[in-house]
Amino acid sequence: MTKILIAAFCAVFFTFTPSAQAAYPDKPIRLIVPLSAGGGMDTIARAVASPLSEKLGQQVVVDNRAGGGGSIGAELTKEAPKDGHTILMASATFVIHPLLYPARYAPTRDYATITQVTRQPYVLMVHPGIPAKTVKELVAYSKANPNKMNYASAGQGSLIHLTTELFKVRTGADLNHIPYKGMGGAYVDMLSGRIQAAFPSIISVLPHLKTGKLRALAVTSAQRSTSLSEIPTLQENGIPGFDVSQWYGLFAPAGTPRPVIDRVHREVVDILKTAEMQKRMAGDGADGVGSTPAAFAAYVKDESASWAEVIKKSNIKAD
């Protein structure tokens, strides 16, 4: 009887210990991208998927599920089996969307964090017609010319919108919001002088910086960007604690076994360290991160709380 009990105990024990996950993955992995193919997130997802397929021994298939401000892809991941064969690449919008719109998912409740893959800081740009060479001069000029300076965003409730409103809260700058459907039209109006300021992505404005058609004053991240290392941060310009970046990160459904999470995390971090991947990220104006699952979970929690506060203070409503 004792031998039977010991055998039964061992069978149960080894069924639920990490060794049971040794076979992972045993089929192709679906990497859901909640945006259309061809964009920045899709590019990074595919750059990660190819070497990850080799490391895991199973194909990692990018599945673009655009729509609903990213909520369609997020909900598909939430409802997927909790076995690590469905993962999600998401951005800051993943956190912001439920703060503005009804959503059937909660980032901090319904997902297991794997790692933050990249961060892409924004850059504070002004039209050369604005006589401001520093952030302090820009704030002073805006206050001296109330209701005369316009800033562009990629739409109501977009990360660029929230970033600029956070800048206004922290500095008291007087800037009027002009929302666009994406930043394409905004750049046209900014080059013409109709828009005086904006916080676009670095990669999208590098050509205009090189020609002098736009002027960069600061980047929004805590550290200077490797793609624009000569431009100081907003923190260096006297705004302590200002740290905003667009980011891409990997998530799995909540309840996915920890050994699976750790395996994917380990392989992705190794990929981010390669020269090829670093070159690819730099081409997108991004820096690699590779944070631990716990650190990424804390980051997502902080992001949700911070943007909820900005939305409340700035009285931002969904469009």
Q: What is the full DSSP assignment across 269-297?
A: HHHHTSHHHHHHHHHTT-EE----HHHHH
Q: What is the 3-state secondary structure (H, E, C) of 196-242?
A: CEECCEHHHHHHHHHHCCCEEEEECCCCCCCCCCCCCECCCCCCCCC
Q: Return the pLDDT at 22.
A: 59
Is 194 in contact with 180 (CB distance < 8 Å)?
Answer: no
Q: Return the pLDDT at 18.
A: 47
Q: Return the pLDDT at 17.
A: 44
Which of left, alpha, beta for 214 (phi over 0: left; psi -120 to 50: alpha)?
A: beta
Which residue type does 14 have?
A: F
Q: Return the pLDDT at 158.
A: 93
Per-residue pLDDT of the chain (319 residues; tens, 9 = 90+): 454 444 444 444 444 444 444 589 999 999 999 999 988 899 999 999 999 999 999 999 999 999 998 999 999 999 999 999 999 999 999 999 999 999 999 999 999 999 999 999 999 999 999 999 999 999 999 999 999 999 999 999 999 999 999 999 999 999 999 999 888 889 899 999 999 999 998 888 888 888 999 999 999 999 998 888 999 999 999 999 999 999 999 999 999 999 999 999 999 999 999 999 998 888 888 889 999 999 999 999 999 999 999 999 999 988 7
What domains are there in the chain, each with its CATH number?
26-120+245-314 (3.40.190.150), 123-219 (3.40.190.10)
Is 219 in contact with 228 (CB distance < 8 Å)?
Answer: yes
Q: Return the pLDDT at 19.
A: 45
Between CA 238 and CA 173 the distance in angstroms is: 14
Tokens of residue 210, six digits: 């090189």
Residues 6+ apart with CB under 8 A from 315: none
